[in-house]
Amino acid sequence: MKKLLTVFVVLALMASQKADACTNFIITKGASTDGSVMVTYAADSHQLYGALYKYNPPKKVKAGQMMPVYEWDTGRFLTNIPQVAKTYSTVGNMNEHQVIIAETTYGGREELVDETGLMDYGSLIYITLQRATTAREAIDIMIELANTHGYASSGESFSVADENEAWIFEIIGKGTKMVNGVNVNKGIVWVARRIPDGYISAHANQARISTFPLNDPENCIYSEDVISFAREMGYFNGKDEEFSFCNAYAPLDFGGARGCEARVWSFFNTFASGMDKYLDYAMGYNLNNPMPLWIKPDQKISPKQVFDAMRDHYEGTPMDMTTDIGAGGSKLPYRWRPMEFEVDGVSYVNERATATQQTGFWFTAQARNYLPDAVGGILWFGVDDAGTSCLTPIYCSVTDVPECFREGNGHMTQYSPTAAFWIFNRVAQFAYLRYDYIGAEVQRVADEWENAKLKEVLTIDAQAKNLPLKKQKELLTDYSINTAQSMFNRWVELDQYLMVKYIDGNIKVEDENGFVDNGSGRDIPASPDQPGYSEKWKRAVAADNGDVLRVVE
């Protein structure tokens, strides 16, 4: 997301990082254990309320009807455009044909923002989902919309997928050059590459398409002026075959590597050996050692593994957020913003991992070509921080959305006791206080939920796949709504349980029958466990204030 997206320029030690930013992982069907195409999306912003946005029923439209376009980030009215004769149903970032579109903002060269543009990146996504039946068709529609109405956002990377293939599609505007009241640079330069089957890819707020084949239209398409425009602007002067989209339109700096490419590296490192050779690049120390656009995983990847990849905090790497003193006494893998700080004139970075406290909503979308469209598409959807929340299945053919995810059920400045966003935030805020214990307990509950639902949907698939379409939609809508509500109820119970168990920094003793009392018959618990703090934290406190705190014999 690019809500209030800011690029901070600091000294050579610390260049730019994106404060409000998103992450996409892409898994082709040949790389998944169940033959599904998967796309993940963490929509991250400190101002983004977690809800299941953009449910649209299918429509047949009379000729001449117009549709309004509103900017996704601000809600500002942009324009009216002609509506098409027939639209398809959508739920979140998926439509009834199993088309999936997600995004991350990379920004790119500031001078290329079209100040006259009327089609922002969010509108490109949600209007296209109403109109496309395949990923390739979606790319064509997005290009046509941006070129016809002018592109109103900065540089954007999109994941565009269907049940058979997945693409990375990167675009940027051409700036504002007014001649006789008309922007003669209206439109976009762009390139799209199909990820080879059996491979995985990712992007996280840094343009990633470098050089690309100029004569392989089955696997790579691009605007006819993508190279010539870069030459015109002075961004490139080499041979056509040497042209790099990301180098020309979004030059990499330290922050782009450490705050953005590092998330891609950690995803690749989770599933493929040999990624150590790119660690210096991910950490921003060697920008001349870029990672490939896609890699082949060592083994096929399950949906649950994909879910868990979205919970990454760089565990087990030099950027591990649980091991330094910044993690406090309970191994907290989060750093509150801002993302950089200065000590004695030296600038330092707070890591930006995939799992982050400012996530509004997140999902893993699955498209499965061995099932009817109404059954094959599942949006595994969740809200708030992926590290302290869970995903629940929403089939792409639903005709309604769960109340706990409904847009308008609370917002960022209005608490709602029936909104999933707020109950997940309640649990998260408590977990942050003692993450090594409470965070682990929350994750166990999330694992139990997700593993159970992954098995359960196989039964629902079997029940639904041979039904008439109307019956399919009824069954899948009921299941999706009821399951989401059960998840909400489970988290309400968890919130109460955690409060009782961990109140005041203590941990009540439990056995298989529940909390252990002291035998008095008065419902008084046994003396609680008091595990204290991590060894590193104790040593840091002793070094900082040991003269005052030392016990005197």
Tell me: the pLDDT tens digits for 102-159? 999 999 999 999 999 999 999 999 999 999 999 999 999 999 999 999 999 999 999 9
Give the pLDDT score at 553: 86
**Among candidates 162, 187, 189, which has minimal Cα distance to 176?**
187
pLDDT at 45: 92
Spatial distance between the Cα atoms of 26 and 40, rounded to a whole number of angstroms: 7
The verdict on whether omega for the bond into residue 213 sits within 30 degrees of 0, i.e. cis, is no
**Low pLDDT (below 50) residues in the chain:** 1-19
What's the pTM value of the predicted model, to 2 decimals?
Answer: 0.94
Q: Give the 3-state secondary structure of residue 145.
A: helix
Backbone Cα Rg of the chain: 25
- Same domain? For 246 and 345 the reply is yes
DSSP class per residue in 298-348:
SS-B-HHHHHHHTT---TTSTT-TTSSGGGGGGT----PSPSEEEETTEEE
Q: Are residues 172 and 218 in the same domain?
A: yes
Whether 30 and 126 share a structural domain: yes
pLDDT for position 5: 33
pLDDT at 342: 94
Nearest one of 419, 82, 113, 58 to 249, comparing CA atoms? 113
State the Cα angle at 434 between 363 and 432, rounded to 5°.
40
User: How do residues 130-144 score in pLDDT, each as one tens digit?
Assistant: 999 999 999 999 999
Q: 4 in a domain, yes or no?
A: no
Regarding whether 386 and 320 lie in a shared domain, the answer is no
Separation CA 384–CA 429 (nearest Å): 11
User: Does residue 336 lie in a domain region?
Assistant: yes
Q: At 383, is the secondary structure helix, strand, or coil? A: strand
Residue 150 within any structural domain of the chain: yes
Containing domain of residue 529, as a range? 510-549
Same domain, yes or no, for 395 and 528?
no
CA distance 440 to 330: 11
Output b/e per residue, 193-216; b: 16+ Cβ within 10 A: bbbeeebbbbbbbbbbbbebeeee
Q: What is the pLDDT of residue 18?
A: 40
User: Are 433 and 528 within one domain?
Assistant: no
Residues 147 and 181 in one domain: yes
User: Which residues does 300 contact at the CB level (< 8 Å), separation at least 6?
Assistant: 31, 32, 33
262 belongs to a structural domain: yes
Assess whether 449 and 524 both reside in one domain: no
Specify the pLDDT at position 504.
93
Residues 340 and 380 occupy one common structural domain: no
- Please tell me the distance from the alpha carbon of residue 29 to that of residue 21, in angstroms, as a whole number: 27
Q: Which of 118, 531, 68, 127 has the alpha carbon at shortest distance from 331?
A: 531
Task: Report yes or no: 175 and 112 within 8 Å, Cβ to Cβ.
Answer: yes
* 526 and 389 share one domain: no
Among all chains, which residue has been given the structure tokens 């260049």?
Answer: 15
Whether residue 13 is contained in a domain is answered as no
Residues with Cβ within 8 Å of residue 148, at least 6 apart in sequence: 81, 119
| 2 in a structural domain | no
410 and 328 inside one domain: no
**Domain count across the chain:** 3
Per the domain annotation, does 194 fall within a domain?
Answer: yes
pLDDT score recorded for residue 227: 98
How confident is the model at residue 3, as a pLDDT? 35
User: Would you state the pLDDT for residue 12?
Assistant: 29
In a domain? residue 198: yes
Please give the C-alpha separations between residue 516 and each of 192, 438, 497, in angstroms, as whole numbers: 60, 19, 14
Check residue 20 and give its pLDDT.
56
* Cα–Cα distance for residue pair 255/99, rounded to 1 Å: 32
Together in a domain, 331 and 196: yes
